[in-house]
Amino acid sequence: MAQVARTVLAFQYDAELNTIDSLVIAVRPFSALEEPNRKLFKSGGDSDYIVVTERTIFHPQGGGQPSDVGSMTGRGGNCFTVTAVRMDAVCEGQVLHLGRFSNGEGSSVSTFREGETVTQEIDGEKRLLYSRLHTAGHVLSASVRHLVKSEVENFAELKASHFPGAAGCEFQGLIDGKWKDAIQNKVDESIAAKLPVSVEWWDAEDFRKNGVDHLLPTGDLIAPGEKFRIINIAGLDRYPCGGTHVKTTDLCGRTTVKKISRRTGQSKVSYSVD
């Protein structure tokens, strides 16, 4: 697998795709994975396999977003249920799809063949939920930044989780609970404005020209010669991001700022979407 090229991340170009065809590059029993890759999958077992394809519609877990789930179906009808997706820890740029074949067990299982074309299909409802949560997280983070950046000592954006039931954005600095209503109002305003959400591709010079050198990701996240993917929420936020998003902010749905918690010099603003 180390000689295989990077997986093309089809979802980064069209997050509304629910199905694509792709060539199978490799199929391996989960037990044959390298130790660093086995550790990526807490649910992996002896009946599971890893499938690598030339391109993928499945978003791997990362950047605060859960992985997609779904299926791959071969031309002969054999089906592979995808239960988890991660970026390869050994072969840079590869996407590993964990799951099980449904047409047998043990040594009798009929797997895909290398070079075979399979149809990938994601769970569209979960993808939409994850996209709504992810865009809402960007709206929330930008709202917090616009309101408190100059009011909170040592303020900085840290990380975010866009998992259902556990969504929140974390910041350096102590954000007082008094800001909760103002943040909610700013979020409501941005959601109601139906701001377009678009994808841009930047190189290092683009970051400098836009005065956001501090946002420039490390070069090992992309292949040599490629550009960084930027999510632009018109008039509100531009940020490096590899995740999936809805087309306009109103599609996030009702976004509720749940609480502001503070601990050891940091703050977390939790949220949910309805």
Q: What is the CATH number of the domain that holds 105?
A: 2.40.30.130
151 and 75 share one domain: no
The confidence score (pLDDT) of residue 106 equals 47
Q: How far is CA 248 from CA 9, 32, 112, 205, 261, in A?
A: 22, 43, 38, 28, 29
Q: What residue type is assigned to position 133 of the chain?
A: L
pTM, to two decimals: 0.92
Q: Is residue 81 part of a domain?
A: yes
Do 220 and 117 fall within a single domain? no
Cα–Cα dist 244/10, whole Å? 11
Residue of 226, 232, 217 lying closest to 63 (CA atoms):
217
Write out the chain's pLDDT in tens, 274 residues: 444 588 999 999 998 899 999 999 999 999 999 999 999 999 899 899 999 999 999 999 999 999 999 999 998 889 999 999 999 999 989 999 999 998 644 446 789 999 999 999 999 999 999 999 999 999 999 999 999 999 999 999 999 999 999 999 999 999 999 999 999 999 999 999 999 999 999 988 998 888 888 788 765 556 667 899 999 999 898 999 999 999 999 999 999 999 999 999 999 999 999 9
CATH of residue 204's domain is: 3.30.980.10
| Domains in the chain, number | 2
- The Cα–Cα gap between 105 and 113 comes to 17
Q: For residue 178, with 0-12 CB atoms within 10 Å meaning exposed, 13-18 middle and 19 or more buried, which class applies? A: exposed
With respect to residue 113, please indicate whether it lies within any of the assigned structural domains: yes
Is residue 2 in a domain?
no
Residue 123: count of CB within 10 angstroms of its CB: 16
Count the neighbouring beta carbons within 10 Å of the beta carbon of residue 51: 24
Task: Confirm if 50 and 30 have CB atoms less than 8 A apart.
Answer: yes
Distance (Å, whole) CA 77 – CA 169? 43
Q: Which of 122, 145, 176 is the last residue of a domain?
A: 122
The pLDDT of residue 217 is 77
Based on the domain organization, do 118 and 131 belong to the same domain? no
Q: Is the residue at 153 inside a domain?
A: yes
Of the residues 122, 153, 172, the one at which a domain ends: 122
Q: Which domain holds residue 161?
A: 127-273
Euclidean distance between CA atoms 76 and 16, whole angstroms: 27
User: Does residue 142 sit in the same domain as residue 253?
Assistant: yes
Does 171 lie in the same domain as 116? no
46 and 161 inside one domain: no
> Is 1 among the domain residues?
no
What residues pair up with 237 in beta bridges, in sequence order? 233
Q: Does residue 264 fall inside a structural domain?
A: yes
Is residue 134 domain-shared with residue 262, that is, in the same domain? Answer: yes
Same domain, 196 and 117: no
Cβ–Cβ under 8 Å, residues 98 and 43: yes
Same domain? For 49 and 144 the reply is no
109 and 195 both lie in a single domain: no
Does residue 257 contact residue 143 with C-beta atoms inside 8 Å? no
What is the reported pLDDT for 16?
87
User: How far is 212 from 230, CA to CA, in rounded Å?
Assistant: 12
Regarding whether 139 and 98 lie in a shared domain, the answer is no
Last residue of a domain, one of 122, 150, 176: 122
Q: Does one domain contain both 145 and 50?
A: no
Taking alpha carbons only, the member of 226, 125, 145, 240 closest to residue 190 is 145
Joined tokens for residue 9: 């991340």
Whether residue 58 lies inside any domain: the answer is: yes
Question: Cα separation of 16 and 139, whole Å?
Answer: 20
Query: Tokens 């997706």 appear where?
Result: 85
Which pLDDT does position 2 carry in this prediction?
42
Give strand ranges (E) for 114-246: 117-122, 156-161, 168-172, 197-202, 228-233, 237-240
**158 dihedral zone (left: phi>0; alpha: psi -120 to 50; beta):** alpha
Please report whether residue 3 resides in a domain: no
